[in-house]
Chains A and B, each alone.
Chain A
Amino acid sequence: MYHIALKMLLGNRSKYIVLVSGITFATLLMTQQSAIFCGLMLWTTGSLQNMRAKVWVTDPKVEQVNEVRQLRDTDVGRVRSVEGTAWAVPLFWGLQQAKLADGRFKQIQLVGLESATLVGRPYRMVAGRIEDVRLPNAVVIDELAIVRLSAGRPKPIGLGDTFEINDREARVVGICRTAKSFFGMPYIFTTYDQALQFAPKTRKMLSFILAEPAEGWTAEATAVAITRATGLRAYTEKNFFWATIRWYFVNTGIPMSFGITILLGFAVGVAVSGQTFYTFVLENLRHLGALKAMGASDGLLARMLILQAFTVGLIGYGLGIGLTSLFGALGLEKGEPPFMLPYQVPLGALAVVLFICVFAALLGIRQIRKLEPAIVFRG
């Protein structure tokens, strides 16, 4: 009987297309917006992805990775003195101005890596070698920097080219790949000592301390130990990640605007798909009445409707999520717009779609229960 149900559904092509496209659109709207939202949130933690360390030590008042309150140089020694810390190195991070060949200024994110260990260095080098960053005035730029800093040059900036950071000459010795950041500014890597030369002098220059848990210690335990022993604030990479996202969640209107769009997707899904399915049921009511007269039980008819609804739902979901994937794959290739698809998004969308299906099926089932089989004998 179930293949009959499917035939009834698929046989009416135009109805089927309307039904499926409603769900497709709703799924696309929900998952794509969610993915962009997640991607945007991920961008806010760009620094955490580009400078990797298990434990980040900050000023006690720092709430997220994009705000910096400088520490004192000797705090590195204090963190090293904490039991459970295998090692700790300083890191400089700050927004600086780069002067382009045509005289324009661009904001950059300058990162100073501890010169011996280069802890926090970019994972993937596209050209050049990261160790060359120890050369005088040497910097490693990311691919975004090529786009941003090439203005006014006959050809894109590359190895050996120079530009100015705060009126000091910087020479490109490498190009690396980085994760995008919320600010949309390129990452420029250099050594800690040179970063202090590039950056304008302030009382304290140390932005973060990156630490590694000792053997047998978890990052959480080490972070707790550092916080307790030094009075500084130690985050595990994961905690810092979520703290940053929470900060943007609470302090910006981003979740609100995306939430509204996602709700809109949900509403469109419920309204369009639910209603279309309901009219589909109404149009088939004569046939359903005939089946009911022929002795098909309400349960059987309800199951048929559920099958139809879920088929529409799953096909529509698959198409919608496929479009989202396509969009995402193209976006990931270019690096823009922000896109991040945690498994919760497709699963959540699936749950919502199934809810829409159940809702639509229930509307139909209510009609079937009310349906008098005797109507087949009338008119």
Chain B
Amino acid sequence: MADNKNNYAVHVRDVSKTFGVGATAVPALKGVNFDAREGELLMIVGPSGCGKTTLLSAIAGTLQFDTGEIDVFGSALQKMSKNENSAFRRQNIGFIFQEFHLIPTLNAVENVSVPLLINGVSRAVAERKAHALLAQVGLEGRGHESPLNLSGGQQQRVAIARALVHEPRLIICDEPTSALDKENGARIMELLRQVARAPGRCVVVVTHDNRIFHHADRMTEMEDGRVARVAEINGGHSSSFIPN
């Protein structure tokens, strides 16, 4: 198993996480095993409280898990210090949030340029790239508008542009369509599929919006802190067996 670890974009083994201590302790993840491959759009689905968001947080490196190991493109998250973790995130991971988390006092371009700026890229370069990315997501010429003046779909496209601008390998999406209508959700998912097709990239989407399930390459269903099953939806990728 260790020999083909490098083929996976994300490799999760026996990860468990418990919130709280003692009587109030709530186990969120109970030994999760899970893989995501390069070039695929993986969806994690499941009912509320199944631990899918916790899993996503752990993969994104924003949550410290108790046991197990997570490799993201060959880097072991559990071995990183807090600062290394931060640096890893800003270079390798793009985030798309449920509420978009665009900063309302910044215009679209500035919002998009933030990841580059965090990486220390100069403002001019960052904004040029941001403009280019906005054009790619179909918001050409609207870069100077405040997010508050954009529709939900447009806001999410801005968020996608932001998630892509620093060319991360792993894109983490948390309920990207829950705030959108069906049409806009479909468009966003189409966009994400295209993103996932880029070489050496992987998109992980957490959702319980069944309207978009068909956009996934594979789907991992979680139940009660464990991966219940993995389903191949589109594409020629074979499903991998994940022992329970």
A residues near B, CB below 8 A? 1, 3-4, 7-8, 10-12, 286-287, 290-297, 300, 372-374, 376-378
B191, chain A: closest CB distance, angstroms = 19
| Given contact pairs A295-B90, A295-B118, A373-B62, A11 touches B106 in the complex (Cβ within 8 A) | yes
Q: Does B139 contact A (CB under 8 A)?
A: no
Most A CB contacts (10 A, CB to CB) among B88, B103, B105, B118 go to B105
Q: Quick check: A8 and B106 within 8 Å, CB to CB?
A: yes
Whole-angstrom CA separation of A1 from B101 in the bound complex: 17
10 interchain pairs, CB-CB under 8 A: A4-B103, A8-B103, A291-B114, A294-B93, A297-B87, A373-B62, A376-B95, A376-B97, A376-B101, A378-B53
Contact of A7 with B106 at beta-carbon distance under 8 Å, contacts A295-B118, A377-B174 already known: yes
If the complex has contacts A1-B118, A7-B105, A11-B105, are A294 and B110 also in contact, measured as CB distance less than 8 A? no
Q: Closest approach, in angstroms, between the C-beta of B183 and any C-beta of chain A?
A: 25
> Scoring B residues 109 to 137 as 1 if CB is less than 8 Å from chain A, else 0, what string do you get?
01000110111000100000000000000
* Bound complex: CA A296 to CA B89 (Å): 9
- At the interface, yes or no: B83 with Cβ under 8 Å from chain A? yes
- Contact indicator A294/B105 (Cβ below 8 Å): no
Name the distance in Å between A26's Cβ and chain B's nearest Cβ. Answer: 25
Given A295-B86, A295-B89, A378-B53, decide whether A372 and B95 contact each other with a Cβ distance below 8 A. no
Let me know if A4 and B101 touch, CB within 8 A: no
Point out residues on B near A: beta carbons under 8 Å. Answer: 53, 56-57, 60, 62-63, 83, 86-91, 93, 95, 97-98, 101, 103-106, 110, 114-115, 117-119, 123, 174
> What A residues does B97 contact at CB under 8 A?
290, 376-377
Quick check: B83 and A297 within 8 Å, CB to CB?
Answer: yes
- Neighbour of B110 across the interface among A7, A12, A296, A372, CB < 8 A: A7
Chain A residues near B118: list those with CB within 8 A.
Answer: 1, 291, 294-296, 300
Interface of chain A: mostly helix, strand, loop or mixed: helix
Contact between A297 and B95, CB atoms less than 8 A apart: no
Contacts of B57 in A (CB 8 A): 374, 377
- Most chain A Cβ neighbours within 10 Å, of B83, B86, B93, B97: B86
- For A295, give its contact among B93, B101, B103 (CB under 8 Å): B93
A293-B86 Cα distance, complex, nearest whole Å: 8
User: Which residues of B lie under 8 Å from residue A10 when comparing CB positions?
Assistant: 105
Return the chain A residue nearest B107 by Cβ.
Answer: A7
Report whether B87 and A295 are in contact in the complex, using a CB–CB cutoff of 8 Å.
yes
A293 touches B62 (CB 8 A): yes
Q: A206 to chain B: closest CB distance in Å?
A: 73
Residues in chain B near residue A7, CB distance under 8 A: 103, 105-106, 110
Interface pair B53/A377, CB less than 8 Å apart: yes
Question: A365 CB to closest chain B CB, in angstroms?
Answer: 16
Q: Are B123 and A287 in contact (CB under 8 A)?
A: no
Assess A297 versus B86: contact at CB under 8 Å? Given A4-B106, A290-B95: yes
* CA of A333 to CA of B115, assembled, Å: 55
Q: Judging by beta carbons under 8 Å apart, are A294 and B115 in contact? A: yes
Nearest 5 CB-CB pairings of A with B: A295-B90, A11-B105, A295-B89, A373-B62, A290-B101
A345 to B87, CA, bound (A): 45
Q: In the complex, what's the smallest C-beta–C-beta distance from B128 to chain A, in angstroms?
A: 15
Q: Once the chains are docked, how many angstroms separate the CA of A4 from the CA of B106?
A: 7
Shortest distance between the CB of B146 and any CB in chain A (Å): 9
Look across to chain B and name the residue whose beta carbon is closest to the beta carbon of A11.
B105
Given contacts A7-B105, A290-B103, A376-B95, 14 further A-B contacts (CB under 8 A): A1-B114, A3-B123, A4-B114, A8-B106, A287-B103, A290-B97, A294-B89, A295-B90, A295-B118, A296-B90, A300-B118, A377-B60, A377-B98, A378-B53
CA distance A358 to B117 in the complex (A): 25
Q: Once bound together, how far apart are the Cα atoms of A290 and B106, in whole Å?
A: 14
CB-defined contacts of A297 to chain B, threshold 8 Å = 83, 86-87
Most buried by A among B60, B87, B93: B60
Closest A residue, CB atoms, query B104:
A11
Q: With a CB–CB cut-off of 8 A, which chain A residues contact B63?
A: 372, 374
Chain A residues within 8 Å of B174, by CB: 376-377
With known contacts A7-B106, A8-B106, A11-B106, A374–B62 Cβ distance under 8 A: yes
Contacts of A295 in B (CB 8 A): 86-91, 93, 115, 118-119
Closest to B63 in A: A374
Greatest chain A CB density within 10 A among B88, B90, B115 is at: B90
* Contact across chains for A377 and B56 when beta carbons are under 8 A apart: yes
The interface residues of chain B lying within 8 Å CB-to-CB of A378 are: 53
Would B101 and A286 count as touching, CB distance under 8 A? Answer: yes
**CB of A2 to closest CB in B, whole Å:** 9
Q: How distant is B62 from chain A, measured CB to nearest CB, in Å?
A: 4
Contact call A4/B110, Cβ cutoff below 8 A: yes
The smallest beta-carbon distance between B127 and chain A, in angstroms, is: 10
CA distance A378 to B83 in the complex (A): 23
The answer to whether A293 touches B110 (Cβ under 8 A) is no
Min CB distance A134 to B, Å, is: 74
Question: Which one, A4, A286, A287, A376, contacts B62 given CB within 8 A?
Answer: A376
By a CB distance below 8 angstroms, the chain B residues around A287 are 101, 103
Whose C-beta in chain A lies nearest to the C-beta of B83? A297
Q: How far is the CA of A98 from the CA of B87 in the complex (A)?
A: 83
Interface centre among A1, A372, A378 (most CB of B within 10 A): A1
Q: Chain B nearest CB: distance from A175 CB in Å?
A: 60
Q: Is the CB of A293 within 8 A of B106?
A: no
